[in-house]
Structure 1
């Protein structure tokens, strides 16, 4: 009989059973009783088991306590699961209930050095050993140095604590409604790129009323939205806001492709129309952005419903930690670079190349390049960073040769300015700035901790700027004047 009772009908019956045991049982409750009893028996047995995956202790199903306001915490003990509630997200990193957080704390202590001025003055670096009790992040070599330098640590202590709680929130086992993304944009509803709030509202996201949830969702969406905010016809970057004249020319070419006029295409023979090639986005030096859930990148197709996209992730780390998910194919004459190709939908394809771009460029595999259909994106490339600048020296001239727009981001203002200075130093006079360097309106709202130096905080895609190879226009000259 229970197979013929839907969940909506079971709900009031279960509520009456749980809250009023003295109520005379109605025919509906008698019919629903076997289903309710079986489900409660299953949940009781399920909660007693512990499932561990990849070293993480997984939480049980949400509690079905009779009191919906019950926020009691799950105790940590052997044989039970951990479900962190909003009021129990703060834990010292080295004493965290999450094994991955404890492992990260150990890595910080192995690699990071104490920031106390004494070590810089005496040239005697010492590894971090002491965890700040206020933020829960390993910060100094000893409690004495932490206390002596506490005035400087206070400047970042709150941000470190916030980052600590956000990391525990991701491992809390709660349901994340903020990661449910809307579909295609209605023609009548224009997207507002003023800030995150207006974008999420006009894109019809579910209301996000919690700052932590907003930080979590922007951590992922910053990648496709940063790209879209530069290319879209309603972009917040215009001639009055950092876009240069050369930049207007480049984005106008892209927008001509991304916002085509409606041609009256239909499903019958008379409605057949020629489909333009896909817009290719070459994401160079890809790392974490290449492993984002594909529905995150698919937001581009919803904001540009009349266009198709081909995302090309390129870099030696573009398949890091994804070998079990998508093993690298063998390099064959048909697939000489072992590209991993994913068909996300009918209007988006993703290709991943575990290779340096300059190697691929020299083979001509992507020729020809077209500024109307192609753009390069460099998320936190570290062009001027001493540890990675040498890897970009061979790539930069080849990027400028394509004459396509190159969009770059930076973790911090210092990081972005260092990249800008490096490009000016290496290719002065050979490129045009399209978008003046500045703060990105769609940066990640979450703070990221540098494990090599916890005193350095950053935000994903904090800054944004753009450039391309200089184009020399032909000038008509009267021969008689020579």
Structure 2
């Protein structure tokens, strides 16, 4: 039987994407979601056989495939004890299969979805071509993904396809690896560490080493691990006092950015007060730092062990993660129905207050501007608040209208706003939209550029196989202007 942690990690790795707002609505609903993971991980482990109880004491120790099932003999008199050993579906040297003929049913369904919704990119099917649009129906033999309507168009446009063919093959193999049924040591996350052991955030390798993660010596395993960790680490790398971003030349942090993030760091890295557990040791503590994840989609459903890594980076501060967005509970309603809206809980927030002693997670299915106008989170303080938007599509034609009311509310808070993009084009489009809607009303805190802690795994857009991206590829930050300047005309 597949463990709940596997369902969370597998789904997050394969479906978390800026385009998931479309794909999640069109794909079959997942019967075992992320929130049930956090609930089941807290249950008593005595339901496991005694022989396997030691292995199962930590839910993140083993991530077997969803395709592993208990196999009982047909002539057995009684059911065999529940087995936690995964059934290996694919060997490490047998990961490449065409999507259509894949041994994994989920990937075959994905191939059918691509054939139904993706269009052939050949110039003949473009607006000025001599043929009407056509759906993709031919799989490239090198990458195994449907990319053209016919073999003739694939061969004719092969030079263009060759630019991304190797990356598509890598995506193919990574997807099969995730469902192969192998043991995933890269999902064994490091726990707390002593404060004297400083974290090095120069890159992924130095961070994993100084955080005492198990060594990851395989490129594919590194890609699988960073696909999840990119979310907490993108935030941590910007607001941590040892951040790789600075005001030096090429450091991308602006003077205003240093002011804003220094305020946050003052709270996140409090000085030692000598407090204790007795009455004489009581000390006044700062309120939790609130990290608002706006437009939350699948990142709100990541295994909670992933988000706890953020708490380990700031062991002496309290953190309150608040996921806000109409899709923040996508594919989770069956496992955790939304609570009714009551006077004490006017927006039906779901609160998980046992994630970690210093971390609490809340999820609200609503738009941020709706909550802001009611004063639900008032007051906002730059010392305790930070907003994060993971590839929100601010400038995308299909989603920009949803941010029209939110942007002025965000600028009003004067708190830092961290934004990521899944490609450089996507990030530049968002910046252009913000400049158009709020020119002269905001300060750039961090210049746009590639995110040091981006996902190393590439993702495929099922609506357009030519469109590949990496989670949180780029990052930049801004906030509402805190200083008003008035021009004085020269008087003769």
TM-score by length of 1: 0.82
Q: Deviations over 1:298-319 (max 9, x none)?
A: 1111110000110000001100
Taking a change above 3 Å as real, the CA distance of residues 416 and 123 of structure 1, as seen in their structure-2 partners, is: farther
The match for 1:233 among 231, 237, 241 is 241
Q: String of CA shifts for 1:104-132, please: whole Å, max 9, x gaps.
A: 11111111100111111236110011111
For 2:234, what is the secondary structure of its paired residue? helix
**Secondary structure in structure 2 of the residue aligned to 1:456:** strand
Q: Distance in 2 between matches of 1:253 and 1:272?
A: 25
Quote the residue 1:110 is aligned against: 116
Which residue of 1 is the match for residue 185 of structure 2? 177
Whether the 8 Å CA contact 1:82–1:172 is kept in 2: the answer is yes
Is the contact between residue 59 and residue 82 of structure 1 (CA under 8 Å) also seen in structure 2? no
Whole-Å separation in 1 of the counterparts to 2:95 and 2:299:
26
Cα RMSD for the two superposed structures: 2.1
Structure 1 counterpart SS, 2:343: coil
- Residue 479 of structure 2 corresponds to 468
Q: Which deviations, in whole Å up to 9, do the C-alpha atoms of 1:126-168 show, x marking residues without a partner? A: 0011111110111110111111111111110110010111111
- Asked if 1:89 is matched to 2:95, the reply is yes
Choose from 401, 414, 421 the match for 2:425. 414
Alignment of 1:208-223 (within 5 A): 208-223=216-231
Any residues of structure 2 matched to 1:335-374 within 5 Å, and which? Answer: 335-343=345-353, 344-374=355-385
Question: Which residue of 407, 410, 417 maps to 1:399?
Answer: 410
Distance (Å, rounded) in 2 between the aligned partners of 1:277 and 1:97: 51
Asked whether the 8 Å contact 1:284–1:376 carries over to 2, the reply is yes
Structure 2 spans left out of the alignment, 5+ residues: 1-48, 53-64, 72-85
The corresponding residue for 1:122 is 130
- Are positions 1:166 and 2:177 aligned together? no
Contact 1:243 1:435 in 2 (8 A): yes
The 1:198/1:116 distance shift into structure 2, 3 A limit, reads: same
- 8 Å CA contact 1:59–1:173 kept in 2: the answer is no
Aligned equivalent of 2:449, options 423, 435, 438: 438
Instruction: Determine if contact 2:201/2:243 at 8 Å carries over to the other structure.
Output: yes
TM-score by length of 2: 0.80
Give the alignment partner of residue 193 of structure 1, picking from 201, 208, 211.
201
Aligned to 2:469: 458
> Are 1:98 and 1:171, in contact at CA under 8 Å, matched by a contact in 2?
yes
The CA deviation at 1:81 is 6.0
Q: 1:299 aligns with which of 309, 319, 330?
A: 309
Contact 2:122 2:148 in 1 (8 A): yes
CA shift for structure 1 position 369: 0.3
Q: C-alpha displacement at 1:474, in angstroms? A: 8.8
Q: Which residue does 2:326 correspond to in 1?
A: 316
Larger CA deviation: 183-192 vs 413-422? 183-192
- In the alignment, is the contact (CA less than 8 A) between 1:135 and 1:160 conserved in 2? yes
Return the alpha-carbon distance in structure 2 between the equivalents of residues 277 and 434 of structure 1: 24
Offset at residue 472 of structure 1 (A): 1.3
Contact 1:59 1:172 in 2 (8 A): no
In the alignment, what sits opposite 2:162?
Answer: 154
Tell me what 1:140 maps to. Answer: 148
Structure 1: distance between partners of 2:320 and 2:358: 8
**1:427 pairs with one of 438, 451, 462:** 438
Equivalent residue, structure 2, for 1:75: none
CA distance in 1, matches of 2:401, 2:346: 26
Q: Deviations over 1:293-344 (max 9, x none)?
A: 0010011111100001100000011000112322211122221211111111
Larger RCO (alpha carbons 8 Å, 6+ apart): 2
How many pairs were matched up? 408
Matched residue SS, 2:464: coil
Is 1:202 the counterpart of 2:196 in the alignment?
A: no
SS of 1:122's equivalent in the other structure is coil
SS at match of 2:340: coil
Unaligned runs of 5+ in 1: 1-38, 43-54, 62-79, 478-482
Larger Rg: 1
Task: Please tell me whether residue 258 in structure 1 is matched to residue 264 in structure 2.
Answer: no
- Give per-residue Cα distances to partners, 1:339-392, cap 9 Å, x unaligned: 111111221111101101111111111000000000000000000000000000
CA–CA separation in structure 2 for the residues paired with 1:192 and 1:123: 55
Deviation at 1:58, TM superposition (A): 2.1
| SS of alignment partner, residue 408 of structure 2 | helix
Q: Deviations over 1:52-84 (max 9, x none)?
A: xxx9532679xxxxxxxxxxxxxxxxxx96521
Runs of 4 or more, structure 1, over 4 Å off, are none
TM-superposed CA distance for 1:192, in Å, is 0.6
